[in-house]
Structure 1
Amino acid sequence: MTTYLPNLTLPDSVFRSLPASILVPITLGTAVGFSTRPKEVPRKYLSLKQPPLRPPPQAFGPVWTILYGLMGYAAHRAYFLGTSPLSLPSTIAAARHGATLYTIQLGLNLAWMPLFFGFNRPILATIDILSLVGINGYLAWLWGTKVDSVSGWLQAPYLAWLSFATYLCIGTGYLNNWDLDVKEGKKRN
């Protein structure tokens, strides 16, 4: 088990504040979304060969906003309850370890869209999202068994969506021969 790494972890003040815990991932996710050419991404998304069950592009914003809010609340809850002065040392260690994992997964989450849509690197985006699934599976287990079961269960919708997004990422990469460099105005068959 890795440990609490303060240099790789959001500040305690973010985790201790419910509004900050919720707003930081929502704000960062929104900023990444808007910085990755928001008018071009839906066009590009629709121009790529896609696996079955792909949602419309306008579904992603609301879904991610809800998921970012839930994961922020879970992080706040796990950290706040887990680092309470009344907590056992092992619970405090698990909560701090979870804070580091949460911060790392948030960074990986924010990197996915630029990797996939900005840099047209579906293989790197796939590695990124597979890492996200693994880290968040472990984080859900860690929070759920060592800190607070509600915090662990709050990760379930995020894990479900990440699993679906992994299917979409791999399916789209595969169906487009791992080349997402679509020329403007050209739709793939």
Structure 2
Amino acid sequence: MTTYIPSLTLPSFLFENAAASILLPVAAGTAIGFSTRPKETQKTYLALRQPPLRPPPQVFGPAWTALYGLMGYAAYRAWNTGMSSFDAKTVVLAKQGATLYTLQLALNLIWMPLFFRLKRPIAATVDIVALTGLTGYLTYVWGQVDEVAGYCLVPYLAWLGFATYLTVGVGYLNDWDLSSKEVPKDAKRSDTKYVDEKP
């Protein structure tokens, strides 16, 4: 059982306002995406050996924008429902969820730099496993405060499960070493998208 830790929790005004709650994760995720140099990230992604079912790189931006928006809306719903409740347990759960939410957002935002910028797939795997577990617990906690908030986190949790599979798969297929995977495509492979596809 976690507890509410004000020093590790986003300020309450970010939860109280729907626009702020939704825009915060969307803006933070977008900023991280651009700070990791999208063109280089895409080159790295295409150069990696990938497990089956890997999506094309163009899917990630829209998918994460929608998931961040749902995540922010869940935060708004859970906080406002919880803090306006007359049930002390519901208030406690809303506050605990706010701390969990802040921690999971931090774990979410460091995955991309760990994987693409620092090229540390083991650290990125540890991060995403912790993130998925924390988000599962957050879904449970906030689902007790407000069912809609809990349901809003389910697609995010499902995507994290899939992202964990991709992270582990890429790490394993590339011998847990991404440092030398940005290779230029030679003329024979110019019609392929991924390094492991056959022409």
TM-score, structure 1 as length reference: 0.96
After superposition, residues 20-99 of structure 1 pair within 5 angstroms as: 20-84=20-84, 86-99=85-98
After superposition, residues 118-157 of structure 1 pair within 5 angstroms as: 118-145=117-144, 147-157=145-155
Could you give the per-residue CA deviations for residues 13-42 of structure 1, whole angstroms, max 9, x where no partner exists?
A: 000000000000000000000000111001
Q: Is the 8 A contact 2:121 2:176 kept in 1?
A: yes
Structure 1 stretches of 5 or more lacking a match? none
In the alignment, the residues of structure 1 paired with residue 81 and residue 10 of structure 2 have an alpha-carbon distance, to the nearest angstrom, of: 17
In the alignment, the residues of structure 1 paired with residue 23 and residue 115 of structure 2 have an alpha-carbon distance, to the nearest angstrom, of: 24
Aligned CA RMSD, in angstroms, stands at 1.1
Q: Is the 8 A contact 1:33 1:113 kept in 2?
A: yes
Query: In terms of Rg, which structure is larger?
Result: 2
Aligned match of 2:7:
7
In the alignment, the residues of structure 2 paired with residue 55 and residue 183 of structure 1 have an alpha-carbon distance, to the nearest angstrom, of: 18
Structure 2 stretches of 5 or more lacking a match? 186-194
How many Å apart are 1:98 and its aligned residue? 0.1
How many Å apart are 1:186 and its aligned residue? 4.3
In the alignment, the residues of structure 2 paired with residue 139 and residue 71 of structure 1 have an alpha-carbon distance, to the nearest angstrom, of: 11
What amino acid sits opposite 1:119 in the alignment?
Answer: L
Could you give the per-residue CA deviations for residues 73-132 of structure 1, whole angstroms, max 9, x where no partner exists?
A: 001100010011x43111101000000000000000000000000000000000000011
Query: Equivalent residue of 1:39, what SS?
Result: helix
Query: Equivalent residue of 1:181, what SS?
Result: coil
Q: Is the 8 A contact 1:44 1:182 kept in 2?
A: no
What amino acid sits opposite 1:49 in the alignment?
Answer: R
In the alignment, the residues of structure 2 paired with residue 183 and residue 169 of structure 1 have an alpha-carbon distance, to the nearest angstrom, of: 15
Identity percentage over the alignment? Answer: 61
